[in-house]
Structures are given as structure tokens and as C-alpha cells.
Amino acid sequence: MLYEQLDGMREYASKRLSRVLLESGGTPQARSERESFSQLYNEDLAKYDAAENGLCFGRIDIGDEERYVGRIGILDEANDFETLLLDWRAPLARPFYLATTAAPDGVTRRRHIRSRSRKVTAVNDEYLDLEAAEAAGRLESGGSVGTESALLAALNAARTGHMNDIVETIQSEQDAIIRSDHKSVLVVQGGPGTGKTAVALHRAAFLLYTYRQQLAKSGVLLIGPNPTFLDYIGQVLPSLGETGVLLSTIGDLYPGVKATREDSQRAGELKGSLTMIEVLKNAVRDRQEVPAEPIEIRFDSHTITLDRRTVTRARGRARSSRRPHNLARPIFVSSVIDILTQQVADAVGQNVVGGANLLSRDDLADIRSELRNDAAVQSALDRLWPELSPLEVLVRLFSSPDRLAAATPDLSDDDRKSLLDSHGPGFTAADAPLLDELAELLGVDDAEERERARRRWRAQIEDAQGALDILTGSAPQDLEDELDPEILMAYDLIDASQLAERQNAGTRLTTVERAAGDRTWTYGHVIVDEAQELSEMAWRMVMRRIPNRWITVVGDVSQTGDPAGTTSWNRILEPYVAQRWKLSELTVNYRTPAEIMDSTREVLQAIDPDATLPRSVRESGTQPWADHVDAGDLTERVRGHVAAVTVPGQTAVIAPPEIAAELADLSSETVSVLSVRAAKGLEFDTVFIVEPQQILDESARGLSDLYVAMTRATQRLGVIHARPLPAVLKNLAEPVRTAATTEQPR
């Protein structure tokens, strides 16, 4: 019956969409309505298609009431709109996730339903009430009360290369975070495999469901660590029926710029530090020049001069306004023009009998206008106070030793060299926050564009008024006389400005599309995943996009690998929200089996002696191992181990960048070859780590990188090395010498 209702909903939306698309012509209002309905029905169809797989995944019995829980809510239109299926985000569905044997919340039985296409493949009942279990004969038949078989089945399933939603198996500590009503910064701290990302994505879906009207207009921004990660999680929100979330990395958050290169560790660390604020200010001020020698300009038959004193005075007036560079430029220009106008007036006055200057205000205004339009004057002004773009300033800063030296008096020569070496074609992820900072320092002088927009709007209103006038005049007088005065015509219902506004609606982009192209867009909510990797400059960029400070921060400070990243949530958040942030912790590891987590214990202790390993909910039966080989045989041994994996699922080779490049040909639909940075946030059934000592040596936070690499595996972990094994991994055994080298060691 549920699928019959779903088919009916899909058919209705499809027919309505077809009808809308077939309509053509009509008034601007009609075109606007078609555009709105087309978007609405397309969104509905996408939601229904996403809900097709696993539409109904659970049921809770509360007394005599049976509540079915699924991906979307479905009502029975033929039976007084009785609820057939509860949306998993609805308050009435919450006991499905919270009820336990200790606190059943009235739930006597929880049923997990697994399906493929439209066929039920498994049903698992959890009895939360002992009497109900005995009455059902559950205990006598060898069953148990409050089992976790549905969760374990999901955890043990082979990975597909894309994250699946956890809507069927949300646990109580995860549910509390997903539904949190905290309206400032909520920090979700959790070790590897605790489901931080899944919680963040489901929180986005929950907030869009609960605050639909507010967030549909402003949008939700989700920031991830790299494009691979965004591709990995990209199917989760659509599977939950939500498309109003912009996914981005920090490197791609500045419109028109895409990060295509990586910085050296030192360059990235420098670019991410707050020191860059003063560096960028200096770089902008350096472009506000004062001439070393007077600039002589021939104007009509006179020579006018811009000397150091004159320009310094004009520059001082512009700077004292405290406006951004481009917005202060008109003040500088006006000051210079005033000075030059006076020079011209004085020169003209010398020819007047008695030395008196007889120029009127209109004469002076004409001189000012001519000076503003004079090519030589404009050239001088552009040199002394040019209109600048963020890209131009940053490129020139990092490509010119002289400009960089002028902007960085406190940096060492080595640090300047690191920044100069970072210059190349394209941009790095650390450049995006610098461009954003420069955009704030420079500002955009959009006065002309705003005036053009006003003129376009006035023209549209005039056109709309003309259309209404024609419509009014075209109505026959005798018809108007016969019409009931209570009947309203189109021109009684809408005025010219409303008609012009609706005409514009047909060309509007979606919220996500508009937000992606607008640097000044402010979101209703922001989610930052792997947030420990963000630099201080990156946080400034994020905070500009969320002035209400309603943010979900997801991360683990023990996994910080970026030298510019953070190891303290308080240090990074205090400047923005003081103590108005809340910490929630995830303590259970759902991804990584106990055998692998035990092997990481010494690594974590070396990072933070006070840190505690998250508790794994399962064991895999396979111990991690280390295989020592000769240096010349390293890559071939890796290839052999990869070829020996015959079990289903995804395999990852995590290696230093240089070795990863040598093994790139191994990449396929089931095998990924990655650096540690690219592997952040991902998970694989089998993981091979190559040369862990080199990973330690090449990173300022090598232990954190090694910890990240070791905790990507959901089933099996192997280490292949030619260099001596790091002391923190001495507990790893040698692998069994069989064809399947991923088996448990002796």
C-alpha cells in the first residue's frame, strides 16, 4: 500500500510537470508560475525517486499502536489522510532511535525492515519489554531482547565507494546531536569511525525538515576537506530527499576560483596564520603610491604637477575614511582633482588684470569635469591609487620579491622564499581565504552597477505598466458594464511593480546556485566537517558566511594533520562566540574493528597521553600486520598484496605522495591510491599503508597522519615497509605467507 501511495504521488507530480512544460506563451505572471511549479514538481520527483530504496525501514509498537517509520512521510488520501508512514525526522518517529530495554519509552517492540527494490529481504524484531518478548515466544525460540543485529549487518556490509545514509540505524547518542536545538556553535568531537560525518549530514537533513521556511531561502553550507570526500558523501543528502545544501571545500568556496595545486607545508602554515592579515593590509597599502619625483601633466596650455606632498595629503584623506581600498578611491580622486583644479584656476588667474581670479563656480566645475576625463590625469590616478581585484593583488604579491618584502618586514628570508615558491599557475586551497580577506580589504565600488540596475528596474516597471494599460484598454466597455463590480480583473489584482517582479522570477536560480556564485551570501546554517584542519584564516572566511553563528563543527583534534590546523576548539572559536559554544562527544566507534583500534593505541598516546580510544562495537577476527621488504621490492610487494584481495568491497593504498604517484596505475573502481590528506573522512574495507616512517618524516604532524591512515579500514589493515617500522607500530605481526596476504597473522 505504501508503494501504491508513492506511485500515486509520483504520477501526480509527473503529470503536473508535463502539463506545466507543455504550456507556452502567456502573461509574465503565467511564465513565473510555470517556472515555480516546474521546480517544485522536479524536486518532488527527485525526493520520491530517492525514497524508493528502503522506503519503509522500521516499525515501533506502542501499546496497540503501530507506527511505521521511513524516509519520507506518506498519508492515506482515501482515508481522511491517515498517516501511513512517518518521516524519520518527525517527533513521533523519535522513539524508534531512542528506545532501549532500560528506557523503552512505551515501545514494546522495534522492527527493522530491510528491502531491495520493493521486496522485503529481512525482518528483525527487537523486544524492549520482557513480558512482550515472552508472550511472543521470543525467548523460548532462542531469540534475544534488544539486539543490535541490524546495526552490525550494516557495519559489516562491503563498502561501495560512496557513503550510505544511516537513517535506519541512528543510535541514541547520534540522534541527540542530529536533533539538537542549540542555536550557536555545536562542536561534535569524536574519534575515528564514530559517525561524525553521518551525523553532520543527517543533522543537515533534520534542520531542513524542521526549519524549512527559514533555511530554504538562505540555504545550508557544508564544508568538507577535499573533493574526493565531497564525492564520497554526495549521495547521502539526496537519498534523504534534500537538495538545498551547497557542498564545498575551503579551496573552492571563493567564487570563480578552484584549488588545483598544493602548497608546501611551510607555505600552507604561513598562509593559514593570522599573520597574513597584516601582510595583506601592507600589500594593499603598498599599491597606494606616492611619487618619488613630481609628475608633470600637460593640460590645455598649462602644466600641472602632482608632487609627493600633494599626493600624500590626498592619500591621507582617503585612508582616514577607513573605507576599503576601492571604496576609498573616489575620495582620493576627488582630493587630487580639487588640487589640480586649483592649479589650473591659479594659472588662468595670472592672466587676469590685477591678478584677481574671476572664474565662477560653473567654470571650476567644468575644469573638474575635464580633468576627470583627461587621459593623462586618469593614467596618473590609476598608477597612484589603482582600482584593484583580489586575484591581481595576491598574484603580484607572491610573484614579486620586492612587493613581498615590502609587505612582510617581520618574516625571515626563508619564509619569504616559501611564499614565493608557492606561486604558480592556478591557486591552492590556502589561497582562497587570502582572496576572501583581500575582497574585504578592497571592497567593490558597485555604484555604477547599482545605478544601471535601478535604470533596468525602472524600465521593467514601465514595460509592465504598459502591459497593464493595454490590458485595461482592451476590455470592451459594454463587457465592463455587464460585469459584476465584485468580479476582479487582472489589473485589479496586481500593480506594475508586482508584475515586473514576477517576470524576473522565471530567470531566478535555485538557492544553492545563487549562493555558490555570491561571495557575500550569508547562510542560515553551516556545517564544517574535518573542522580541525581549518586554518585561522579559513575560519575567518567561514565566519563571514554565517553572521548568526549557527554552525555545526565536526572533527577530532587528535587527527589534525595540517600544520595550520587546530588542536583546541576553544582557541579557534573563542574570538567569534566567546563561551557560547557547546561540546557534544561521540564515544562509540562503528567503523573500525577492535583489533585495528588496539593497534593504534600507542600512536594515539604519543599524540595525546590523555586521549581515550573510542570503543569499537565489533571485532573482525583479523589482526593488523606489517610486511617488511627490500627497498627495491616495495612497489611490487604492494601490487601483490592488492592483487591478493579477493573479498568484496573497497581497497585503499595510503602512501606518501611520491610513492602514491608510482602506484597510481592500481586505481580502479574498487582500488584507490591516496595520500593521507586525500584519504581524510573516507573508509575502505581493506587498507594498505606504505612506508609509515616516511609518512611521519614528511609531515609536521606525522603521528596524526598515521593515526588517520590506520583508522580508515572497516575490516582489514596491512602495513608494507622497507624502512624500519616506527616504534609506535612494533606490535604489528608479520603476515601469513599465503596467496591471500590479508589473512590473520600467526
Residue 100 pLDDT grade (very low, low, confident, very high; cuts 50, 70, 90): confident
Query: In terms of pTM, does the model score above 0.75?
Result: yes
Under DSSP, the state recorded for 140 is: T
Grid cell listed for 204: 543537515
Distance separating alpha carbons of residues 91 and 162, to the nearest angstrom: 29
Give the three cell numbers for residue 670.
Answer: 574498487
pLDDT value of position 452 = 63
The candidate with the shortest Cα–Cα distance to 669, out of 699, 649, 683, is: 649
Among 650, 637, 630, 535, which Cα is nearest to 272's?
535
- How many beta carbons lie within 10 A of that of residue 661, not counting itself? 11
The candidate with the shortest Cα–Cα distance to 206, out of 240, 247, 246, 163, is 240
* Cell numbers 616559501: residue: 418
Helix (H, G, I), strand (E, B) or coil at 589: strand
Q: What pLDDT sits at residue 716?
A: 95
Average pLDDT value for residue range 672-682: 94
Share of the chain above pLDDT 70, in %: 84
Give residue-wise pLDDT tens across range 620-658. Answer: 999 999 999 999 999 999 999 999 999 999 999 999 999
Residue pointed to by grid coordinates 524536486? 43
3-state secondary structure of 383: helix
- Is pLDDT larger for residue 476 or for residue 226? 226
Question: What is the enclosing helix (H) or strand (E) of 325?
Answer: helix 325-349
Query: In the beta sheet, which residues pair with residue 185?
Result: 551, 581
> Phi and psi of 507, rounded to 5°?
-105, 10
On the 0-12 / 13-18 / 19+ scale of CB atoms within 10 A, 14 is middle
Q: Dihedral angle at the C-alpha atoms of 657, 659, 665, 667, nearest 10 degrees?
A: -60
| Mean pLDDT on 400-413 | 96
Has residue 98 got a pLDDT over 70?
yes
**Mind listing the pLDDT tens digit for each residue in 518-544?**
999 999 999 999 999 999 999 999 999
CA 285 to chain centre: 32
pLDDT at residue 508, rounded to an integer: 57
Q: What is the overall mean pLDDT for the chain?
A: 86
> For residue 80, what are the contacts with CB-CB under 8 A and spacing of at least 6?
none
What is the widest separation between alpha-carbon atoms in the chain?
123
Is the pLDDT at 180 greater than 80, yes or no?
A: yes
User: d(Cα 219, Cα 522) in Å, to the nearest integer?
Assistant: 8
485: pLDDT strictly greater than 70: no
Mean pLDDT of all residues in 399-428:
95
All three cell numbers of 524: 542560515
Residue type for 732, please?
A: L
Residues 6+ apart with CB under 8 A from 698: 656
Interatomic CA distance for residues 669 and 672, integer angstroms: 8
Question: Of the given ranges (291-305, 344-358, 699-713), which has the lowest mean pLDDT?
Answer: 344-358
Amino acid letter, residue 154: A
pLDDT of residue 632: 93
Confidence of residue 141 (pLDDT cuts 50, 70, 90): very low
Between CA 192 and CA 712 the distance in angstroms is 8
Which candidate, 680, 678, 671, places its Cα nearest to that of 643? Answer: 671
Range 553-575 average pLDDT: 94
d(CA 459, CA 456): 5
CA distance 253 to 553: 17
Q: Which three cell numbers stand for residue 413?
A: 628570508
pLDDT at 143 over 50: no
The pLDDT, as a whole number, for residue 449 is 57
Least confident residue range of 2-16, 279-293, 662-676 = 2-16
The closest of 464, 515, 487 to 31, measured between CA atoms, is: 464
Which amino acid is it at 675? S
Q: Of the candidates 687, 691, 737, 692, which has an alpha carbon nearest to the alpha carbon of residue 716?
A: 687
pLDDT at 362: 86
pLDDT at residue 104 in the model: 86
**pLDDT on residue 321:** 95
Of the candidates 10, 69, 15, 77, which has an alpha carbon nearest to the alpha carbon of residue 44?
A: 10
Mean pLDDT of 544-554: 97
Beta strands 671-674 and 427-428, pairing class: unpaired
pLDDT tens digit sequence for 736-745: 554 344 444 4
pLDDT of residue 502: 54
State residue 501's pLDDT score: 57
Query: If you average pLDDT over each of 99-103, 142-146, 232-236, which comes out highest?
Result: 232-236
Indicate the pairing of strand 713-721 with strand 684-690.
Answer: parallel
* pLDDT tops 80 at residue 85: yes
Closest to 299 in 3D by CA, of 341, 360, 335, 253: 341
What's the pLDDT at 76? 83
Mean pLDDT along residues 457-463: 73
**435, 259 in Cβ contact below 8 A?**
no
**DSSP helix, strand, coil percent of the chain (3-state; round to 5):** 50, 15, 35
Alpha-carbon gap, residue 144 to 146, rounded angstroms: 7
DSSP assigned state of 93: G
DSSP helix/strand/coil, 445: coil
Q: Quick one: pLDDT band at residue 71, thresholds 50, 70, 90?
A: confident
**What H or E segment, with its residue span, contains residue 698?**
none
Q: Minimal CA–CA distance to 111: which of 152, 99, 166?
A: 99
Q: Model confidence at 417, in pLDDT bands (50, 70, 90)?
A: very high
